[in-house]
Structure 1
Amino acid sequence: MRKNYAFFMQLSLGFSPCPNDTFIFDDMVNQPHPEQGLSFQYVMEDVETLNQWAIEGKLDITKVSYNAFLHLTDTYALLDTGSALGRGVGPLLITTKETFNSISDVSSFLKQAKIAIPGIHTTANLLLSLAFPEAQQKTEVLFSEIEQAVLQGTFDAGLIIHENRFTYADRGLAKIMDCGEWWEQETGAAIPLGGIIIKKSLPEAVKQQVQQMIGESLRKSWDQYPDLSGFVQEHAQEMSEEVMRKHINLYVNEYSASLGTEGKKAIDILFQKAFQAQIIKILPEQYRL
């Protein structure tokens, strides 16, 4: 039965072209759902563009880095579905072939190093800032271009995310540290990378319905897995199917279906760490739907 809305509502939706996002949203944006009373006008952009658009309030629903969401709790609510959290999924700080014998060596290197980061508002940058506040010489570079920029010597180090964690070693780069591993050791919590947020100004019934539709879209993608739809493959930036599946298996997990107790705790800890580091001025009373 179609929902009893006064009109058929179209919502703007943003997510990245990475396989984890296209996998989650495939059915939701590519199949008609007239019975829901909702349709979606979607756009795919890199995560830092989506972060900036969320700051501007441009989209009704969007994927964002949890670092960006720290500053958006007045206007957006976090959905329970669609998030990227986990263990062993954190950003990696990489360089050319250099060895470091201690954290002190790494710290000394980062004080002077020119570092390519995938965006000021990314959770990757937040984790690096929490682990090494002395690392100050940062430049934003499109995430898919960071490896090459380090290889060319434009930067001394790079902070890589997404599928680049599967390719950096093959390109002759070396890991300085796993920022996600640092977070897990520091907090014991899963790593909150990105989530799906929705404008608080939308009707409550619509927000709940969107949350449910994301969960259903994800379930349908898992039903046909390991087959990958044309939608996922088309936007996967020339990845092999093996790398696409590695990407999906790493970033789409039980937290994507529902944050659950552990996921919510991890996000609470992120807010607390940001507050302690004076990155945010207050802790929000309620940020989840």
Structure 2
Amino acid sequence: MDIAFSPCPNDTFIFHAWVNGLIPDAPKLKVTYADIDITNTLAEKADGPDILKISYASLPWVHESYGLLPCGGALGRGCGPLILTKQGQENVSLAGKSIAVPSERSTAFLLFRLWIAKHVPEGIKEIHVLPFHEIMPAIADGKMDAGLVIHEARFTYPSYGLRCVVDLGDWWEKDTSLPIPLGAIIAKKTLDLTKIAQWIRASLAHAQKHPRSSQKYVMDHAQELDWNVAQEHIDLYVNSFSHDLGKEGYQAIHALLTRAMKEGFIPTVDYKSLLIK
């Protein structure tokens, strides 16, 4: 069975047991490790992987072939994307600036567009898609005026001499009273999605019962080489929603996608067609 997910600590932590054959009766996995900008487009291909981690923002483009699984993804509070600039640039407007983003199909970028529509009516000068790990150096070097970052950058951006000008997760939570739907796990509708969800939950349960067993695997793929940073990342992004989206999780997804459809940022689809519970 083919699977594609990011090398980020929350994904490798969740899938470690399954990838390493520790889940009884679960099929062997062939893994592709890729940044979200790549996984968001893999699902659109006819020969795309059986299972993928993508942004919730990308669901409307793949819903005919893939179903949303109720577990394994990244959704929570206090874990949203940040807009960063260099320190010393206080009170500088984002209007007319060049901004680096990790993916034009990412939830981070969708939240960014929703926020910009409300707060920067003048608009942005240029949007540049860069690999996640290149964004903060590009801001620090002055190649970009600002950048949109996700994941462990929440913990490391001060070391690049950067400051947070907008916490999009904080804005979203205050505006909606809902958690932030970031990354989704999807699988081909031709597969047994209930079984796949069971294997993912078993892999997550194993990781949480034996937290040290996945450490080497997590660090072999982590883009930040500090275990304490990786552990902070896991603690933040692996939570109750990783086990089950639940009513609140589905409400958050619905709120994000319906707002984006209303603004014309994503294709208009029947929300119910995105969900396989």
Task: Please tell me the TM-score bracket, short chain as reference.
Answer: over 0.9
Check if 1:112 corresponds to 2:99: no
Of 82, 88, 95, the match for 2:72: 82
Q: Is this contact kept in 1: 2:9–2:218, CA < 8 A?
A: yes
Deviation at 1:164, TM superposition (A): 1.0
CA distance in 2, matches of 1:28, 1:247: 20
Equivalent in the alignment of 2:145: 156
> 159-168 or 225-234: which moved more?
225-234
> 244-253 or 66-75: which moved more?
66-75
Check if 1:285 corresponds to 2:272: yes
Q: Is this contact kept in 2: 1:73–1:284, CA < 8 A?
A: no
What secondary structure, in the 3-state scheme, does the structure 2 residue paired with 1:74 have?
Answer: coil
Check if 1:218 corresponds to 2:204: yes
What secondary structure, in the 3-state scheme, does the structure 2 residue paired with 1:285 have?
Answer: helix
Q: Is this contact kept in 2: 1:271–1:283, CA < 8 A?
A: no
State the one-letter code of the partner of 1:29.
V
CA distance in 2, matches of 1:119, 1:35: 35
State the one-letter code of the partner of 2:71.
T
What secondary structure, in the 3-state scheme, does the structure 2 residue paired with 1:39 have?
Answer: coil
CA distance in 1, matches of 2:272, 2:125: 31
TM-score (normalizing by structure 2): 0.92
TM-score (normalizing by structure 1): 0.88
Check if 1:242 corresponds to 2:228: yes
Deviation at 1:224, TM superposition (A): 1.3
State the one-letter code of the partner of 1:186.
D
Point out the structure with max Rg over C-alpha. Answer: 1
CA distance in 2, matches of 1:35, 1:168: 42
Q: Percent identity?
A: 38
CA distance in 1, matches of 2:203, 2:98: 41
Deviation at 1:75, TM superposition (A): 1.4
Q: What is the total number of aligned residue pairs between the two structures?
A: 268
Of 19, 25, 32, the match for 1:29: 19
Deviation at 1:275, TM superposition (A): 1.5
CA distance in 1, matches of 2:189, 2:20: 25
Q: Is this contact kept in 1: 2:3–2:31, CA < 8 A?
A: yes
Cα distance change of structure 1 residues 225 and 128 upon mapping to structure 2, 3 Å threshold: same
Unaligned runs of 5+ in 2: 118-122
Check if 1:233 corresponds to 2:219: yes
CA distance in 1, matches of 2:199, 2:190: 19
Q: Is this contact kept in 1: 2:59–2:274, CA < 8 A?
A: no
What secondary structure, in the 3-state scheme, does the structure 2 residue paired with 1:198 have?
Answer: strand
State the one-letter code of the partner of 1:113.
K
State the one-letter code of the partner of 1:20.
N
